[in-house]
Amino acid sequence: MLKRIETLFAHEAAGGVVLIMATVVALILANSELAALYTQVLHLKFTIALGETGLSKPLILWINDGLMAIFFLLVGLELKHELRAGRLRTPSNVVLPGVAALGGMIAPALIYLAFTWSDPLHRTGWAIPTATDIAFAVGVVALLGPRVPPALKLFLLTLAILDDLGAILVIALFYTATLKPVYLALALIPVALMALRLWLGAHRIAPTLILGAVLWVLVLKSGVHATLAGVITAFFLPIRDRFGKSPLHALEHGLAPYVAFLIVPIFALANAGVSLNGLTLADLAAPLPLAITLGLVLGKQIGVFGATFALVKLGLARLPEGTGWLQLYGIAALAGIGFTMSLFIGSLNFEADAEMNAVRLGVLAGSLVSALVGFAVLRLAPHRAKTGR
């Protein structure tokens, strides 16, 4: 029995399935007699204080700012690994998915702005439909098995990783509150100590992670979004130590199941609870949810597929081996599954319940349509397509 459970959780689609289950539970709670309790629990305040200094936040912000910092730590570990020893190390492997990722961020943002430009409050959420959820997208691809060529899976993974990098840059540049220079200056101290430890070749990672926790508090106090502390910490962890082992790789593999099966589902449980009571087509057609839905569905398809098509036709790149245009279009559709990162960016933009409910509605609708379209296209596409130009 234990072996069967381990095999089940080791499957590529397992993380996506758990994420779907957490989303369904959130929707049930938000639309049941427990809705008031669900909201009340998420807004319970938790305080950690030392004397008169401390942090006091509602539970949902501890999840979004705290637990998601661990999520971003894992993203940072994956990025460093790929840049130093993986597929992002070779520039030729980055060109096609890199341009596709860029197109997949620009087109959704433009579509979103086309629907919200007249509203100064809503247009600040332009980055919401620019993200791709790796767990969901890879989960759908895993369900298709050998119908998706290995090179195309690699293309999707690289695109999603670069998409995450783009999201990190967007958060750093556009989601910074009023800066507090004193805390920002203090944050340089743990960064300098982490850099010193890396330069000295220190192989123990616990001190660096403790410094990362200190950095998280200082960055949070400075006005810069605290989750970026996770990414910064990851880049100061060594890929190789003096014993020939990889602390970074070990931490990446150790964290991955906790992030996939605990942290991200908790985030979904806290953020995906959209109230469907009294929902009408007019609500779906309101500017904010419609902008997000169309940004994810049409924007990602136009951006990812269009950028790839242009690059290949100009002779600057080739399609992934064994891949046809229809299959690539299916992957472009799957890139519109924005769930985790889209909800996260939405929470950075809007605090009011009405706006966040609209964001959840748009993200869920856009991600669901993208998943269904992508799955259907890849399911119907020829199993063995010729590599094209």
Please report the pLDDT score of residue 214 as a whole number.
94
Q: How many domains does the chain have?
A: 1
Q: Residue 324's domain spans which residues? A: 2-175+225-380
Cα Rg of the chain, angstroms: 21
Is residue 198 domain-resident?
no
**What one-character DSSP code corresponds to residue 235?**
T
Is residue 157 domain-resident?
yes
Name residue 21's amino acid.
M
Please report the pLDDT score of residue 388 as a whole number.
46
Low-confidence ranges of the chain (pLDDT < 50): 1-2, 4-6, 8-9, 385-389
User: Which pTM value belongs to this model?
Assistant: 0.80
Is residue 284 domain-resident?
yes
Is residue 196 domain-resident?
no
Q: How far is CA 272 from CA 18, 24, 137, 321, 361, in A?
A: 14, 8, 17, 37, 9
Is residue 182 domain-resident?
no
d(CA 170, CA 379) in angstroms, rounded, equals 34
Please report the pLDDT score of residue 12 as a whole number.
57
Using a 10 angstrom Cβ sphere, with 0-12 exposed, 13-18 middle and 19 or more buried, the burial of residue 351 is exposed
d(CA 311, CA 334) in angstroms, rounded, equals 20
Is residue 187 domain-resident?
no
Residues 6 or more apart in contact with residue 247 via CB below 8 angstroms = 203, 204, 205, 237, 238, 239, 241
Tokens 């949810």 found at? 289
Tell me the H-state helices in the chain.
2-10, 14-30, 35-42, 59-61, 68-85, 91-116, 134-144, 150-174, 181-200, 206-222, 228-234, 247-258, 264-271, 281-284, 287-294, 300, 306-313, 325-334, 339-349, 353-380
Is residue 326 domain-resident?
yes
d(CA 83, CA 89) in angstroms, rounded, equals 5
Please report the pLDDT score of residue 336 as a whole number.
94
* Maximum CA extent, the chain: 67
Is residue 180 domain-resident?
no
Residue length of the chain? 389
| CATH number where 352 lies | 1.20.1530.10
